[in-house]
Amino acid sequence: MKLFWKAAGGDKFILTKSTYSDQIKYFCLGGIVLATAIMAGLSGGYAFYTIFKPKLSDVTELWEKTGGESAMNNLQGFTETTDISTSIYAIIFGLIWGLIIYNIDRFIITSTGKGDGTEAITWGELKNAFPRIIMGCIIAISISKPLEIRILKGEIDAKLQVKQERLKEEAIVNIEDKYENRIVEKNAKIAQYQREIDKAEQSYTDAVKAFNDELAEKPGGSASGYGPDAKRKEVIMNDRKIDRDEMRLKFDPLIADLNNEIKGYINEKNDEIDNISFSLSGLDGLAERITIAEEEYPAVSWFLTLLFLAIELTPIFFKLMLIKSPYDYMSDNYKHLELAQNGVYIEEDYYEDKNGVQRELVRFLSAEKLMSEQKEFHDAQLRITKYAIEKFEEKEKQKINENPDDFIKYS
């Protein structure tokens, strides 16, 4: 109970002398502050782990294990591997974050005061508490979002994998289209060069056939033999062979270079497709998960946010609604005793400033006493010095009266 009193900013010495009702009030306030700090630590640790955990290098791993589109229903069958080193850092960060929120909440609670001491929350009290309410809202939202994505982790993982796979498919189509145009252009040049080679090859084939036909037997058993026509056709055949060889010598290296370029394009395309999974794995971040949770499950998102807002803001409104209790009177009494023992005097509503606000008169009696003593001592020293000068003057005048020649000399 004393630990919770401390968390709520209560005075343990006064609470031990207060009523049981006051003790329970501050016990509950401290419990809320500690609970908020614990939830903040869990939330911060999970957020840290989600941000810095190693991403899957192959985005299709989970997709394949859960059956593609059926991942929406089968995801609970997949167990994600926990990274130990990231978990250790996340635990340390979570503890630090929880302590930070604990300290901030204690400050908010202790600085809120008791309002006007009635159960009603007036507009003036709300205006005074507005900065603390804003701080509480920021803390509540920062706590709720990581816990929200942890509660909806299964559903978010399914949606995220579906989204990643669709983005991968679209990226693959774009990459294939980009390289398809280049490959088609190279194949068109290869086809053009191959047509030139085929044309020369066909001319040589026709020349060989014409030469062989000339040497072959004629119908009826006669043979033309190796005559003038055969020699002429042999020359043509050799020319066509030279033309064919020149075409091959010219275009075969070009075709080989083009094929190598096509292979290079295919390798580049495959590398880009392989890198898609790695780049899309970076989509598995805190911001993306929060976005999916808010877009796909707005009701759950709002419910959790409102829940943590209620937890975080309850102590503030609770203190504004508290009526004055024995603890408050005893606390005021001890404060006045401390002021009196230290020589501080406060008079409420002593004067009204230019804005019409009642101001208090604060007097520091010990300081005033010391200042008064110093002033009197200074005045006494001044009077004594003045008196001594007067006496010295009288004594010197008497000497002059008795023997003026001692003070006046003629040259």
- Regarding whether 186 and 132 lie in a shared domain, the answer is no
- What the block records as the tokens of 30 is 């401290």
- Regarding whether 352 and 308 lie in a shared domain, the answer is no
Tell me which DSSP letter residue 8 carries: T
82: region left, alpha or beta (phi > 0 left; psi from -120 to 50 alpha): beta
CA distance 362 to 369: 15
CA distance 50 to 235: 81
Instruction: Report pLDDT for 354.
Output: 75
Average pLDDT over residues 124-151: 82
Residues for the chain: how many in total?
411
Number of other residues whose CB lies within 10 A of the CB of residue 46: 18
Instruction: Report pLDDT for 51.
Output: 80
pLDDT higher than 60, residue 339: yes
Tell me which DSSP letter residue 216 carries: S
Would residue 49 count as lying in a domain? yes
- Regarding whether 261 and 144 lie in a shared domain, the answer is no
Q: Which of 165-169, 279-283, 360-364 has the lowest mean pLDDT?
A: 279-283
Three-class DSSP category at 363: strand
Would residue 385 count as lying in a domain? yes
DSSP assignment string, 223-282: B--S-HHHHHHHHHHHHHHHHHHHHHHHHHHHHHHHHHHHHHHHHHHHHHHHHHHHHHHT
Convert the pLDDT of each residue in 177-188 to its tens digit: 888 888 888 888
- Regarding whether 130 and 217 lie in a shared domain, the answer is no
Instruction: Report pLDDT for 295.
Output: 82
pLDDT band at 58 (very low <50, low <70, confident <90, very high): very low
Three-class DSSP category at 78: coil
The phi and psi torsions of 217 (rounded to 5 degrees) equal -65, 145
CA distance 180 to 187: 10
**Crossing angle for the helix pair 20-52 and 123-151, nearest 10 degrees?**
40
Instruction: Report pLDDT for 114.
Output: 66
CA distance 272 to 279: 10
- Regarding whether 311 and 186 lie in a shared domain, the answer is no
Number of domains the chain contains: 3
Instruction: Report pLDDT for 75.
Output: 45
- What the block records as the tokens of 3 is 């630990």
Count CA atoms within 13 Å of residue 305 on its CB side: 14
pLDDT higher than 70, residue 62: no
Would residue 336 count as lying in a domain? no
Instruction: Report pLDDT for 71.
Output: 46
Q: Which of 37-41, 75-79, 246-250, 326-330 has the lowest mean pLDDT?
A: 75-79
Would residue 158 count as lying in a domain? no
- Regarding whether 108 and 230 lie in a shared domain, the answer is no
- Regarding whether 360 and 261 lie in a shared domain, the answer is no
CA distance 228 to 209: 17
Instruction: Report pLDDT for 223.
Output: 53
pLDDT higher than 70, residue 17: yes
Would residue 144 count as lying in a domain? yes
CA distance 255 to 115: 89
Alpha helix ranges (H) inside 282-297: 286-296
- Regarding whether 222 and 145 lie in a shared domain, the answer is no
Convert the pLDDT of each residue in 173-232 to its tens digit: 888 888 888 888 888 888 888 888 888 888 888 888 888 877 775 555 455 566 777 788
Would residue 179 count as lying in a domain? yes
H/E element, 331: helix 326-341
Convert the pLDDT of each residue in 230-253 to its tens digit: 788 888 888 888 888 888 888 888
Q: Which domain holds residue 220?
A: 170-281
- Residues 316 and 136 sit within 8 Å (Cβ to Cβ): yes
Convert the pLDDT of each residue in 378-391 to its tens digit: 999 999 999 999 99
pLDDT higher than 60, residue 403: yes
- Regarding whether 101 and 10 lie in a shared domain, the answer is yes
- Regarding whether 128 and 212 lie in a shared domain, the answer is no
Alpha helix ranges (H) inside 152-227: 153-215
Computed over every residue of the chain, the mean pLDDT equals 80
Of 230, 250, 281, the one marking the end of a domain is: 281
Entry pTM: 0.58
- Regarding whether 66 and 36 lie in a shared domain, the answer is yes
Name the residue with tokens 């869990």.
Answer: 42
Q: Percent of the chain, pLDDT > 70?
A: 86
Instruction: Report pLDDT for 178.
Output: 81
pLDDT higher than 70, residue 370: yes
Tell me which DSSP letter residue 220 carries: T
Would residue 331 count as lying in a domain? no
Name the residue with tokens 């280049």.
Answer: 182
pLDDT higher than 50, residue 78: no
Q: Which of 77-91, 186-200, 291-305 has the lowest mean pLDDT?
A: 77-91
pLDDT band at 375 (very low <50, low <70, confident <90, very high): very high
Would residue 161 count as lying in a domain? no
- Regarding whether 139 and 107 lie in a shared domain, the answer is yes
- Residues 399 and 385 sit within 8 Å (Cβ to Cβ): no
